[in-house]
């Protein structure tokens, strides 16, 4: 068995099979089998907060867009370790996860921190406004549509997964368009893995509502936000729930988060209302911090991107 990085699930099966042969055979193991023992040793010491990376288990379209940042760990030999919870919410909880691969032969160890957003099923969530947000969206599978209408356990699971995939699609589309959003790493069912936005000291970056930027930094934050909203509008979209609590301040840059409810401005009958509300929320915050901002002017500017 080669000590190269795993690439397929079959290689895991082969390792397990070879392990069975070695443990039932009293003969001296071949040096080439050293990696089998190394793999098994790792497998047996996985803790309750650990799992093998499922990067290659998900469909190709459920992995992050290219070109991928260098920090994305794609090795199948990587292990995900849950380090704690970052945020609890009405619709989902966000956990801090480290995805790491140990040094294997000449292959260096690598690791990255990820935010794992796990959506709850309908009986455990309270997204009261979801009907307004999803107008204009469709469920392709008729069986899923019926299950959702009847609110069966399968239907509730489908509904939760729809929000995860809606945010996934939005992040992929917006990241490629240059909108300041976390890089989407992968999506699997109701779990979305994305870039962890840190504060430079190992902690999570604060929300915009928690910081007190002044002068040039405040102006820079607004320009970045406006440009991000313009890129959204060019794509025909509005955040739908934009506020200082859904924007992170990472040093001198801002990052938009929480995008499961992204709204089609034209396709959704309330699209304009959602866009105007986003403008009002952000203009009010910047004005309260000393930067006079006209929500109607911002709204008009964004509409010029749409039409």
Q: Is 258 a catalytic residue?
A: yes
The secondary structure element, H or E, covering residue 118 is: strand 110-119
The dihedral through the CA atoms of 192, 195, 197, 203 has a sign that is positive
Write the DSSP symbol of residue 137. Answer: -
d(CA 156, CA 161): 9
Burial code (b: 16+ CB inside 10 Å, e: under 16) for 4-15 equals eebeeeebbeeb
- Scored b (16 or more CB within 10 A) or e, 186-215 reads bbbebbbbbbbbbeeeeebbebbeebebee
Separation CA 184–CA 19 (nearest Å): 36
- Alpha-carbon distance values, 198 to 181, 195, 250 (Å): 13, 9, 7
**16, 57, 106, 258: which is the annotated catalytic residue?**
258
Residue 231 Cα to chain centre, angstroms: 19
Q: Which of 80, 188, 241, 278 is catalytic?
A: 241
Instruction: Write out the two tokens for 218.
Output: 């405040």
Upper half-sphere CA count for residue 109 (Cβ side, 13 Å)? 6
Pair of tokens at residue 122: 């309908």
Helix, coil or strand: residue 79: strand
Whether 241 is a known active-site residue: answer yes
Residue 201 makes CB contacts below 8 A (sequence gap 6+) with none
Residue that has been written with the tokens 């915009």 in this structure: 208
Q: How many residues does the chain have?
A: 307
Active-site annotation, residues: 241, 258
């Amino acid at each position: 068995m080669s000590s190269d990085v795993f690439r397929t699930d079959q290689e895991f099966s082969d390792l397990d099979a070879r392990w069975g042969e070695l443990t039932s055979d009293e003969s001296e193991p071949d040096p080439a089998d050293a990696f089998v023992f190394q793999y098994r040793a790792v497998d047996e010491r996985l803790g309750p907060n650990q799992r093998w990376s499922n990067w290659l288990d998900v469909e190709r379209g459920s992995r992050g867009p290219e070109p991928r940042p260098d920090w994305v760990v794609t090795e199948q030999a990587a292990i995900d370790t849950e380090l704690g919870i970052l945020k609890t919410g009405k619709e989902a909880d966000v956990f801090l996860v480290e995805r790491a691969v140990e040094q294997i032969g000449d292959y260096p160890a690598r690791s990255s921190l990820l935010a794992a957003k796990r959506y709850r099923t309908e009986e455990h969530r309270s997204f009261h406004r979801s009907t307004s947000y999803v107008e204009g969206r469709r469920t392709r599978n008729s069986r899923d549509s019926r299950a959702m209408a009847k609110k069966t356990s399968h239907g509730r699971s489908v509904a939760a997964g729809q929000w995860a995939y809606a945010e996934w699609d939005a992040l992929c589309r917006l990241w490629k368009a240059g909108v300041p959003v976390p890089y989407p790493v992968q999506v699997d069912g109701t779990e979305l893995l994305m870039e962890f936005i840190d504060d430079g000291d190992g902690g999570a970056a604060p929300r915009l509502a928690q910081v007190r930027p002044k002068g040039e930094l405040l102006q820079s934050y607004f320009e970045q936000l406006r440009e991000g909203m313009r890129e959204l509008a060019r794509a025909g979209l509005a955040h739908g729930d934009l506020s200082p609590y859904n924007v992170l301040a990472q040093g001198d840059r801002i990052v938009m988060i929480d995008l499961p409810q992204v709204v089609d401005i034209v396709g959704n009958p309330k699209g304009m209302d959602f866009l105007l509300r986003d403008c009002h929320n952000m203009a009010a915050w910047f004005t309260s911090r000393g930067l006079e901002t006209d929500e109607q002017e911002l709204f008009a500017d964004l509409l010029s991107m749409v039409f």
